[in-house]
């Protein structure tokens, strides 16, 4: 019978642990607790540096403890982008149609481009305008909205395909 190497998850992320559990792997959890404020102008390089640093930190800890050094160490970026809707406010009532405006930020993999940003108003796509320096996204509504409740859905993915989605309702009287 084939013996699998020991698997060590270099993270305390419940999501990553859940994925490994669902596919049937047994594993140890050893968070690396590294400083993740490494700077790099290249998002893919940044994620690679952080993941490598996590894995190396855990590998060194295993060596110091004279633990199984043939372990497979898993470390990656699974933190989705932060998304804070500035306008419209959820549940608000607007006499005129509101300007869509939100703040987004991803510390590790970065957003990449406007192609990673989706804005749907009542299921219809609205073109985002992203200012990556200020991390602000705006979108204009070019047609008057009908009276009633409207649904705004925003989805943002980073370059590691971590996704954040927010939906909110607002009304026009």
CATH of the domain at 150: 2.60.40.1220
One pLDDT digit (tens) per residue for the chain, 173 residues? 566 678 888 877 787 788 888 888 888 888 887 776 666 666 667 667 777 777 788 788 877 777 656 778 777 767 789 999 999 999 999 988 788 999 998 877 788 889 999 999 999 999 999 999 899 999 999 888 999 999 999 999 988 788 999 999 999 99
Same domain? 120 vs 99: yes
CB within 8 Å of 84: residues ≥ 6 apart: 102, 103, 104
- With beta carbons less than 8 A apart as the criterion, state whether 170 and 149 touch: yes
- With beta carbons less than 8 A apart as the criterion, state whether 11 and 75 touch: yes
Model pLDDT, residue 67: 60
Model pLDDT, residue 33: 77
Same domain? 86 vs 168: yes
Q: Tell me, yes or no, whether 121 lies in a domain.
A: yes
Model pLDDT, residue 69: 61
- Record the pTM: 0.67
Model pLDDT, residue 129: 95
- With beta carbons less than 8 A apart as the criterion, state whether 171 and 148 touch: yes
CA atoms of 112 and 107, how far apart (whole Å):
12
How many other C-beta atoms lie within 10 A of the C-beta of residue 156? 25
Q: Which of 41, 74, 107 is the last residue of a domain?
A: 74
Parent domain of 97: 82-172
Model pLDDT, residue 14: 80
Q: Cα 117 from chain centroid?
A: 12
């Amino acid at each position: 019978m084939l013996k699998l190497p020991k698997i060590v998850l270099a993270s305390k992320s419940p999501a990553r642990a859940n994925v490994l559990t669902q596919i049937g792997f047994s594993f140890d959890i050893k968070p690396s607790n590294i400083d993740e404020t490494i700077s790099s102008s290249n998002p893919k390089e940044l994620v690679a540096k952080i993941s490598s640093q996590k894995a190396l930190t855990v590998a060194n800890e295993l060596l110091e403890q004279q633990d199984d050094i043939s372990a497979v160490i898993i470390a990656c970026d699974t933190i989705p982008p932060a998304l804070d809707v500035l306008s419209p406010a959820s549940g608000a009532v607007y006499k005129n149609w509101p300007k869509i405006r939100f703040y987004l930020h991803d510390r590790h993999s970065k957003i990449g481009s406007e192609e990673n940003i989706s804005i749907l108003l009542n299921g219809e796509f609205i073109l985002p305008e992203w200012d990556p320096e200020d991390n602000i996204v705006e979108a204009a509504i070019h047609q008057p909205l009908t009276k009633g409740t409207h649904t705004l859905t925003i989805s943002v993915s980073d370059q590691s395909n971590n996704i954040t989605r927010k939906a909110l309702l607002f009304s026009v009287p």
